[in-house]
Amino acid sequence: MLVNFSKMHGLGNDFVVIDNITQNVFLSRDQIKKLADRHFGIGFDQLLMVEAPYSPDLDFHYRIFNADGHEVEQCGNGARCFARFVRMKGLTNKHKISVSTKSGNLTLYIEKDGQVTVNMGHPNFEPSKIPLKATKRELTYIIRAEEHTVFSGAVSMGNPHCVMEVDDIETAQVSTLGPLLENHERFPQRANIGFMQVVSQEHIKLRVWERGVSETLACGTGACAAMVIGFIQNKLTSTVQVDLPGGSLQVRWSGEGHPVRMTGPAEHVFDGQVAL
Ligand SMILES: N[C@@H](CCC[C@H](N)C(=O)O)C(=O)O
């Protein structure tokens, strides 16, 4: 079977996007892992599936699979590429697109300059919803992992995030602490791990060790998680520039009770066909 796909990226966080409305594709976890392999496959951080909506008030359903083959709840950079993909392929001509995901609904807006704004919904700080094993909600959790003691915030942006502040992201222990915390017993569904350097109240630098992938060049939900955690810790204002290794995003949030909005680019790289 030949499957048509597009290769896309949002700030270097890269995706294979499959139109599963005009095609009928089912991929096993092993097939996804093989396609994600950067030497033996196509190579990607996430596979995105565009599917028909479940209800008339929605335009599409959006499925996300990490490079390790596991299906996950949310992907911010992927959402922006999703919006660009459905317009590019003529699946819609709307500028405001409503999609359901495994963890809720998103609204995507195509801006005049081609950037995409995503209404990411409400962050959830309740430990049981992240999920994080903790007796109560805290601004900062103390997590011990081997010889490390980490002070971090935690939030669900639809998917689980743990964010710690560091003095300098260049020297942050991303490849050691990242996997230790991703698989820490206090995160029963594992977690994405952010390393945030606060440059000013309107500007942070961020590196993210992504669950099911490893460090990526950018993580949209990670950028939102870092911003909301920095905000509730009184370190950030309501509009923040987030610099990731692959480029910058703008994240806006006015506090609890309000949705998070993220704006950034979405790029098409090439179209291809793969034999399964
Ligand atoms: N790259 C993403 C997040 C993808 C899912 C994540 N690795 C998880 O397991 O939750 C983004 O841009 O948000």
DSSP 8-state code for residue 188: T
Cis peptide before 123 (omega within 30 of 0): no
Instruction: Read off the amino acid at residue 238.
Output: S
Q: How far is the CA of 171 from the centre of ligand 1 (A)?
A: 23
pLDDT of residue 149: 98
Q: How far is the CA of 219 from the centre of ligand 1 (A)?
A: 6
- On the question of a common fold for 2-121+265-275 and 127-258, the answer reads yes
Cis peptide before 131 (omega within 30 of 0): yes
Domain spans of the chain, in order of start: 2-121+265-275, 127-258
Identify the segments of the chain with pLDDT beneath 70.
none
220 among the known binding-site residues?
yes
Among 5, 4, 15, CA closest to 246: 15
Mind listing the pLDDT tens digit for each residue in 198-256? 999 999 999 999 999 999 999 999 999 999 999 999 999 999 999 999 999 999 999 99
Which of 9, 46, 63, when mutated, tests ligand 1's pocket best, judged by the most ligand atoms within 8 Å of its CB? 46
- Is ipTM over 0.90? yes
Q: Which protein residue has the closest C-alpha to ligand 1 atom 4?
A: 75
Class of domain 2-121+265-275: alpha beta
Among 166, 165, 162, 77, CA closest to 125: 162
Indicate if 81 belongs to the active site. no
Please, which residues have CB within 8 angstroms of residue 247's CB and are 6 or more apart in sequence? 11, 12, 218, 264, 265
Decide if 269 contacts 44 (C-beta within 8 A). Answer: no
Helix/strand/coil percent split, the chain, to 5: 20, 40, 40
Q: Residue for token digits 């390790």? A: 68
Cβ of residue 72 lying under 6 Å from some atom of ligand 1:
yes
How many residues are listed for the chain in this entry?
A: 276
pLDDT of residue 264: 98
Query: If one looks up domain 127-258 in CATH, what number appears?
Result: 3.10.310.10
Indicate if 75 belongs to the active site. yes
